[in-house]
Structure 1
Amino acid sequence: MMDELIQKLDTLIALHRRNGDIWVDFFEGCKERIARDPMFGCEYLTMAWHGIGAYDDERILSDDKDEAQRLELHPRVYQLATEVTNVS
C-alpha cells in the first residue's frame, strides 16, 4: 500500500511539475512527511486535500493527457492515504 502511494505521488508530482503547477511543493512535502511518519503524513495529505477541495471540479493542467491522468490519480491517492491512516 505504501509503495503504491509513493509511486502515485511521484507520478502526480511529475504531472504537476511538467505543467508548471503550484501544487508540486505541496505534494513533495506530503511525500516527505509520509516517509518520516506514514500516519501523520497521510493525515496531513487528506486534511489538506479537504482544505483545497481536491480541486477535481476545475481544470488544473494544460495538457489534456496529463489532466486526464491527474483526474484518474486523485481518487486513488486519497484512498490510499485514508487507508494508511485507518490502518495505523
Structure 2
Amino acid sequence: MIRRITRCWGQLRWLVANWQAYRLSHCNSVYMQWRDGSIRGVMAFSCKTQLTKQRSHDIWKNFLSYMDGTPAILPEPDTSL
C-alpha cells in the first residue's frame, strides 16, 4: 500500500513538472511572438492564465466529476478570462 502511494505521488510530481515545463515553453513562445511590442508581458501572462484554467477544468472533468449525473466533488472551475 505504501509503495503504491509513493509511486502515485512520484508520478503526480512528474506530471506536474512536465505540465509546468510545457506551459513555460508554450507561453515563452507567445512572449517571443510579441517580443517587439509592449504587450508581450500581458500576452505571456494571459497565456499562462488560460492554460492553467484549461488544465484545471480538464482535471475537474476527468477526475472530480461523474458521467452519471452524480454531483461533482468540487464545483466546475471557471474557464473564462
TM-score, normalised with respect to structure 1: 0.34
Which protein has the larger Cα radius of gyration, Structure 1 or Structure 2? Answer: 2
Name the structure where helix makes up a greater proportion of residues.
1
Higher RCO (C-alpha 8 Å, min separation 6): 1
